Amino acid sequence: MLIDEWDLADEARRIGTRPRTIGELFAVERPSLKPLPVETFETGRWFTPRVDRFSHSLTELPGVFHQFRGHTAGG
């Protein structure tokens, strides 16, 4: 899987000049993380947001710019 490959490559990466790698920092945090739920869950939601003429998103998206008034996302 592509995401698994990215995760493995990222473990050796360092942020700026920090002495520890991403993998080392994650190993420190791992014991305090809760386990994932047993049942499957959706990690994202697909929708086509619409912005009205008053720059209000009809899907309650924060930070929608006025330039997108009346436009459909991706359109």
Tokens of 43: 């990690």
Whether residue 61 sits in one domain with residue 28: no
pTM for this prediction: 0.46
The one-letter amino acid at 16:
G
Tell whether the model's pLDDT for residue 22 goes beyond 80.
Answer: yes
Q: How far apart are CA 56 and CA 61, in angstroms?
A: 9
- Counted domains in the chain: 2
Whether residue 43 sits in one domain with residue 68: yes
State which residues form the domain around 71.
Answer: 38-75
Whether residue 57 sits in one domain with residue 27: no
For helices 22-29 and 2-11, angle between their N-to-C axes, nearest 10 degrees: 100
Q: Per-residue pLDDT tens for 41-72?
A: 777 767 676 777 776 665 555 555 555 656 66
Q: Are the C-beta atoms of residues 51 and 64 closer than 8 Å to each other? A: yes
Q: What is the mean pLDDT of residues 14-30?
A: 93
**5-14, 18-27, 38-47, range with greatest mean pLDDT:** 18-27
CA distances to 13, 15, 22, 31 from 19, in Å: 11, 9, 10, 21
For residue 33, name the pLDDT band (cuts at 50, 70, 90): very high
